[in-house]
Amino acid sequence: MTDTPPVRIKLWDLPTRLFHWLLAGLVVAAVITGKIGGNAIVWHGRIGLAILALLAFRLVWGFVGPTPSRFGSFFPTPATITAYLRGHWRGIGHNPLGALSVFALLAFLCIQVGTGLFANDDIAFRGPLHELLSKESSDTLTGYHRLAINVLIALIALHVGAIAFYAHVKKENLVKPMIDGWKTVEPKNAPAPIRGGGSIALIVALSVAGAAVYAGSGLWIQPAEPPPATETPQTQTPSW
């Protein structure tokens, strides 16, 4: 009896892969420009809006995209985590611990972008939505923005470390499927036909991303009207 050869399956769709690599590059750029400060802080704000667009897209794509990219297909539960730790998990996408990492990264990125929209640096930069809050509230969110970046960097390091662990210890390349979309699996682990995604779902996700950028840009905020000018009393020249 011969062993059944492994099969190649399409795992990650193109929009998901583009999201992943664009987000990775933009997060690195955001950290660098934030640490440099000065004139680079303007680009830090622009990069933040780009990350906002990606996050909005992914949140929608997580519900209407192809099956492997949907949050419901890899949402970690105590049962799946236990099965994975005991070696009984047989999924093909994000494993339960990897899924925890993914959801944690998405959550902290949302916190970073959300607080950054209202932040200020007391010098030249003010988030596009800072006018909606008081100065005290803006300062509070600025503090959260500066603290959360440390947690985010730690999560990114953990994520990269897990990928390296899988590559060198478990001999499983997690990066390649996120580049070309294909993965080789045992026939018994081959998933059911992929559902979801498509042009309509993509248009919806892109539209929501565009709306999120417009909302976060603050372009819709009416500028405050300047106070009315007070007339300078005219001094009368005394008649001698």
Q: Which residues pair with 10 in a beta bridge?
A: 182
Q: Is residue 1 pLDDT above 50, yes or no?
A: no
Q: For 84-112, what is the mean pLDDT? A: 90
Phi, psi of 184 (to 5 degrees): -95, 125
- CA angle centred on 109, ends 103 and 115, rounded to 5°: 135
pLDDT tens column, 191-230: 677 788 899 999 999 999 999 999 999 999 887 666 666 6
pLDDT at residue number 151: 92
Q: Which domains does the chain have, with CATH numbers?
A: 14-217 (1.20.950.20)
Give the CB-side neighbour count of residue 90, counting CA atoms within 13 A.
Answer: 8
3-state secondary structure at position 37: coil
Q: For 81-108, what is the mean pLDDT? A: 90
Mean pLDDT of the chain: 88
pLDDT tens column, 100-158: 999 999 999 999 999 999 999 887 788 999 999 999 999 999 999 999 899 999 999 99
